[in-house]
């Protein structure tokens, strides 16, 4: 579980969890999360897709393929694959990791635009660290739905 020390309710929850572990003689781990000064592009892309999935009520992998790649960015992700044995031609989609920085920037911008205009879901910019931090906490606490 992640807790935001800027929110009194999160501090209270963390203290209660700590007391529970000590009272019941449970082994636990306590560590600090570093807040980045900037948000790496690939991690940011996954974060906004995860947030969109949670808000939209769909699985992350479905959102990534059907919305991010197929619907919003087919010109960036889609390519034809030819099976070398059967000669079958089929449509495939690139991995995010195989994009250039500029391609991923364009794909993210398009997805943010789509999200706000078509789905009514605000996706923060990479510089909105306070919002991103809150989203990370919400995603971690709701990962069973992704």
- Supply the pLDDT for residue 26: 85
Query: What number is the average pLDDT over the span 25-35?
Result: 75
**pLDDT, average across residues 13-39:** 76
Two structure tokens written together for 81: 């694959």
What SS3 class is residue 75?
Answer: helix
- 45: number of Cβ within 10 Å: 21
The average pLDDT across 10-26 equals 86
Helix (H) or strand (E) holding 84, with range, is none
Lowest mean pLDDT among 24-33, 45-54, 89-98: 24-33
Length of the chain: 146
Q: Residue 114's pLDDT band (boundaries 50, 70, 90)?
A: very high
Instruction: Give 73-113 pLDDT, tens digit per residue.
Output: 999 999 999 999 999 999 999 999 899 999 999 999 999 99
Question: Which of 108, 114, 146 has the alpha carbon at shortest distance from 127?
Answer: 108
Mean pLDDT of 55-64: 96
Average pLDDT for residues 6-27, to the nearest whole number? 86
For residue 128, CA distances in Å to 36, 50, 135 come to: 11, 16, 11
């Amino acid at each position: 579980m992640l807790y935001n020390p800027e929110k009194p309710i999160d501090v209270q929850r963390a203290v209660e969890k700590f007391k529970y572990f000590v009272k019941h003689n449970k082994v636990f781990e306590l560590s600090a999360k570093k807040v980045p000064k900037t948000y790496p592009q690939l991690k940011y892309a996954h974060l906004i897709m995860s947030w969109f999935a949670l808000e939209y009520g769909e699985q992350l992998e479905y959102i990534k393929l059907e919305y991010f790649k197929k619907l919003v960015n087919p010109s960036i992700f889609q390519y034809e694959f030819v099976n070398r044995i059967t000669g079958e031609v089929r449509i495939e989609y690139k991995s995010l990791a195989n994009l250039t920085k500029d391609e991923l920037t364009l794909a993210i911008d398009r997805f943010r635009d789509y999200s706000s205009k078509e789905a009514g879901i605000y996706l923060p910019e990479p510089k909105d660290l306070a919002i991103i931090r809150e989203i990370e906490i919400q995603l971690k606490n709701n990962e069973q739905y992704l």
